[in-house]
Chain A
């Protein structure tokens, strides 16, 4: 409940303040957002499976974001930033699809 409210508040803040992304963060923000989404969908699935754990969610969320940012940073340093970003997005996308499929099965029994 608090989580949904917090999400809405965050969106509202972003709409109200319209901040510009700092140049240094431009390559990392999209990947970090997708990593966080992956963690969120994982959390929703875990909750539907009745195995949701606060601590685990927080840790997976933070570590997802940090690892994603780290991979992009590493890719940038190695000169393969674009490809590695694509790889991260593909992997996270597959995971999100998997999680969404599990959620769907839970909700619709199909």
Chain B
């Protein structure tokens, strides 16, 4: 059947065979994927299956381990952040108590104005102790005049000494009138200052006056130079 030009019959044969070749290849390709497994023996298939099972178990364990590690790291980070924030807060509080950090908050301003005789160091010390007893958290004292205008932070080791007409506080000489700025509960401190025989009373008896102003916030800006410890070591 050697023909030079396509007749309708041979054309349709060609189309059919084209479809056949196409379908044949498509079918072969689609079967190819599983050919290995289809030809494998049952024992091999069982072995492959158990291998895959073991692999799956191992990978699942690995996932669990990694998730545990992730959780631990997450909680560790959170714990560290909390500890750091806590330590920072504590350092701030201790800094205020030790006088190395400026502070602000509700409190009082006390102005000691001398009358006939100057306000003595022991009066100021009494006032400071009274305020401490009433829960004062931060204090500073400032005097008048160019020399005494710089305020001095009052901390545990602060001393007050009479120095001529003025007052020596931690080495700095202040001139009257003095102003004590204190942060603490205003009502408690007012009560403590005004008790009979207390600070206000004593100053009045010497002819002076103490004017007490409540303010919120008052600012304690003076700082005590930190002391570097030579002998004491923390116990831990």
Contact = CB atoms under 8 A, between A and B. Distances in A.
Contact of A29 (B2, B18, B21, B27): B27
A74 interface: no
Contacts of B30: 20-21, 26, 29
Interface stretch (A32-40, A78-86, A91-99): A32-40
Interface residues of A, number: 36
A99 to B, nearest CB: 15
B6 interface: yes
A98 B126 CA distance: 128
A29 B22 CA distance: 11
A22 to B, nearest CB: 10
Contacts of B8: 54
Chain B CB within 10 Å — which of A7, A18, A26 has the most? A7
B: contact size bracket? 20 to 34
B29 interface: yes
A5 to B, nearest CB: 7
Interface stretch (B9-17, B64-72, B97-105, B180-188): B9-17
A9 B21 CA distance: 8
Given A21-B30, A54-B7, A36 B23 contact: yes
Contacts of B11: 2
A61 B16 contact: yes
B16 A62 contact: yes
Contacts of B18: 6-7, 9-10, 13
Interface in B1-45: 1-3, 6-27, 29-30
Contacts of A61: 13, 16
Interface of A: 1-15, 18-21, 26, 29-30, 32-33, 36-37, 40, 43, 47, 52, 54-55, 57-58, 61-62
The 9 closest A-B CB pairs, nearest first, are A54-B9, A10-B21, A14-B25, A6-B14, A10-B18, A10-B22, A11-B21, A6-B18, A7-B17
